[in-house]
Structure 1
Amino acid sequence: MIETTTWKHNFTNYANLENINPNKQQQLQIFQPLPCKKIRLQLNNLFDEVPLKIEQLEIYSTPTDRKLVTLNGQTSFEIEPRLIEWSDWIDLDMRDNSFLSIEITSPNKTIHSLGMTISNDLVKTEDRTIQEPKYFFGVSAIQVQTNQEYERIAFFGDSLTNQGNYSAPLALSLESEFHCMTANFGISGNRILHPGHSTSQWSTSFGEAGFTRFDHMIANYQPNIVVFMEGINDLLHPGTGAPIDELPTAQAIVKAVKLLKLKCKKHDITFVPMTITPAKGNINGGVNGWSDKKEALRLAVNKELLKMPHIIDVASLVADGDRLKADFDCGDHVHFSTDGGKKVAKYIQEQLIRKRMI
């Protein structure tokens, strides 16, 4: 049997969030594209300094078929600080293209190792308010046992990827229609060239530089395709929380993206970069996040990226000059709206098909 990852979502360090689990219980529903008889969960406490205590972890595909998840045979257990562990394999009958329900009972009220989503397509939390961030803890990946290999697609990027407004509906379609497994490696606030260090209260959650964490993604997930959408924060953050002298040249961003492509080539991975979308009108840290200089850098970067093989020009779809078109803009002039994200997802899928990558 083959251990196949059917869902994976990047966790990061939300050190500024307190009392994330006030009711001592969390309920999740996570889309599962494959039928299975055995399943296990990745349990994540990577960024906390205290054990994550699990009093009970229950999963089910139907309310009448509930199963307790165990770790080393125990139904109550702890995940030690700075660790990720896999649960025991659990017998569970699941049909394809269904949602796995997960209920976690934990006395930990403050937990900093968290995933975040805005989309409700792949991960459903109790709060399903449209366009609001939803944080979840404990489970960062799911594996099932299968008889065959499936193509793996990693979505790598910043908040545009992490929030899921384009990546989640795209993943849902690729998984259900094309039987590709996907994983979300987006981190809000992430930059290609610099780790998270900023006056922003969210600084610790921005993660290490995308250029270095890319290596961890390749090693841990071993994707066949990487859909890459990053670079806007390299322009947006300098002068709005990060030092203005960290504003890179266009050549530096292009060189980094090309080196990421070479890393993929070394591992026989297809690298699919996206052009950088605009952000005029965004207020970041109380000041204007965009400028004519930043827009000129974006255009210069995109001009070079468009020469790369497999490039998908998302910017041409969503941009009206130096700003997002209204029907793609969630309101902050950087991020996609729910409906706009679905249009982006459809466009990327069409391009992947046209370029014969799926």
Structure 2
Amino acid sequence: MNPQKEEIIMIKTTTWKHNFSNYDNLDHINANGHQHLEIFQPFESKKIRLQLNNLYGETPLVIDSLEIYTNSKKKVSVTKDGKKSFAVESRLVEWSDWIDFNLPADSYLSVDIVSPTKAIHTLGLTISNDLIRTENSDPKETKYFFGISEIQVKTEHAHKRIALFGDSLTNQGNYAAPLSIDLEKEFHCVTANYGISGNRLLHPGHSTSQWSTSFGEAGFTRFDHMIAEYQPNIVIFMEGVNDLLHPGTGAPINELPTVNALVKAVHALKKKCKKHGITFVPMTITPAYGNINGGVFAWSEEKEKIRLAVNHELLKMPHIIDIADFVSNDDKLKPEFDYGDHVHLSNEGGKQVAKFVEEQLIRKRMV
């Protein structure tokens, strides 16, 4: 008799995930009722499903149609509960049905959404066009997108999961997106972007800024949600600059943290990771000298002293990546890394940072 063929057990794998936030000050995102996205997918698969996100919506997100396709241009309808038209109720995150779909490896999945819902505030944000492409391809403009916050496929093998956790320097993708693509293509890892623009480690969104609601809950507490939800093997952590920038420029000045408070918080995150067998990779806080926030100078000598002192302590931690030293000179962002506001990374600068971080991960034998 021929030996019985072993049944292949397929593993549910997240191939793309992007943190959404509450942009309640934006009302024009779906002005034309249609959205086109292209999202990089590293693995071949025959089964796929999409996460449908209306977490901050006050009304249902109505989907008239949701179609996916790749280079073949053969469109396949994505359904929920067997229906091609459906609604995602307010305050919910739901999953589509599993869809039979021939997904090639290293391809961009096109996603077309037709929706009559105009006031959509549950949004993702990107500047980089590397990992997720919107209809606006301008590399310097902020792009918002709705509806889809995660993609899962079924694969034969498990893959190392890497979470990129931080603020806008992570969320915007100028370093995170090219790093993710390299890690996925070269090392067969999967990544998730847990950055939130304006996020602080120690405080939730608490500001006179029109963007305050989108700043989200404090990084210290949402870190727990990330661990439970994504169960990463590695966390690359890059946060702290907003804890220094925001006080006095919308947030109360008495929320400016001490060196000890920031350092203790980062060490506490490391302990949380150790408890779950996760490798914690912190990065030093990059400079923000010259930044203007809300019409006032956001940086000061006191803030710079705190940043340098915090970095001095962080450099004692295992797995630390000294990103601040790589991108700065005389405690300022080098011009080639500066997006123009003296805080954020430029498109080309972000790619250099991605290569630097990747080299550090290789050198530390994490990938």
Corresponding residue of 2:5: none
Tell me what 2:19 maps to. Answer: 10
Q: CA deviation at 1:65?
A: 2.0
Deviations 1:54-97 (A, max 9, x none): 00000011344210000000000000000000100011101100
Q: 2:81 aligns to what? A: 72
What TM-score, normalized to structure 1? 0.99
Counterpart-to-counterpart distance in 2, 1:337 and 1:55: 37
- In structure 2, the residue corresponding to 1:327 is in which secondary structure? helix
C-alpha distance after superposition, 1:143-184 (max 9, x if no partner): 000111100000000000000000000001000111000000
Give the Cα–Cα distance (whole angstroms) in 1 for the partners of residues 339 and 153 of structure 2: 35
Deviation for aligned residue 1:193: 0.2
AA in 2 matched with 1:164: G
1:32 Cα deviation (Å)?
A: 0.1
Taking the aligned partners of 2:261 and 2:330, their CA distance within structure 1 comes to 23
Using the size of structure 2 for normalisation, the TM-score is 0.97
* Helix, strand or coil at the partner of 2:144: strand
Question: Which residue number corresponds to residue 329 of structure 1?
Answer: 338
Rounded Cα–Cα distance in structure 2 between residues aligned with 1:162 and 1:64: 30
Residue 322 of structure 1 and its aligned partner are, at CA, apart by 2.1
Letter of the structure 1 residue corresponding to residue 323 of structure 2: V
**In the alignment, which of 185, 209, 213 is matched to residue 218 of structure 2?**
209
In the TM superposition, what is the alpha-carbon distance from 1:345 to its structure 2 partner?
Answer: 0.4
2:153 equivalent in structure 1: 144
1:232 is aligned to 241
Task: Output the CA distance in 2 between the equivalents of 1:105 and 1:285.
Answer: 36
What are structure 2's unaligned runs of at least 5 residues? 1-9
Residue in structure 2 matched with residue 158 of structure 1 by the alignment? 167
Tell me by how many angstroms 1:109 deviates: 1.4
Query: Using the alignment, how far apart are the partners of 2:117 and 2:250 within structure 1?
Result: 31
* SS of match in other structure, 1:169: helix
Question: 2:45 aligned with 1:42, yes or no?
Answer: no
Let me know the Cα RMSD of the aligned residues. Answer: 0.6
Q: Which residue of 2 aligns with 1:114?
A: 123
CA distance in 2, matches of 1:181, 1:296: 37
Q: Work out the percentage of aligned pairs sharing the same amino acid.
A: 69
Q: Identify the residue that residue 172 of structure 1 maps to in structure 2.
A: 181
**What displacement does 1:224 show?**
0.2
Amino acid at match of 1:161: T
Q: How many Å separate the matches in 1 of 2:192 and 2:285? A: 21
Unaligned runs of 5+ in 1: none
Q: 2:67 aligns with which of 40, 58, 64?
A: 58
Find the aligned partners of 2:343 and 2:167 in 1 and give their Cα distance: 11
The Cα offsets for residues 12-56 of structure 1, whole Å up to 9 and x where unpaired, read as: 000000121111000000000000001000000000100000000
* C-alpha distance in structure 2 between counterparts of 1:149 and 1:19, whole Å: 40
2 CA distance for matches of 1:126 and 1:156?
26
Q: C-alpha displacement at 1:130, in angstroms?
A: 1.1
Give the Cα separation in 2 of the matches to 1:218 and 1:14.
Answer: 24
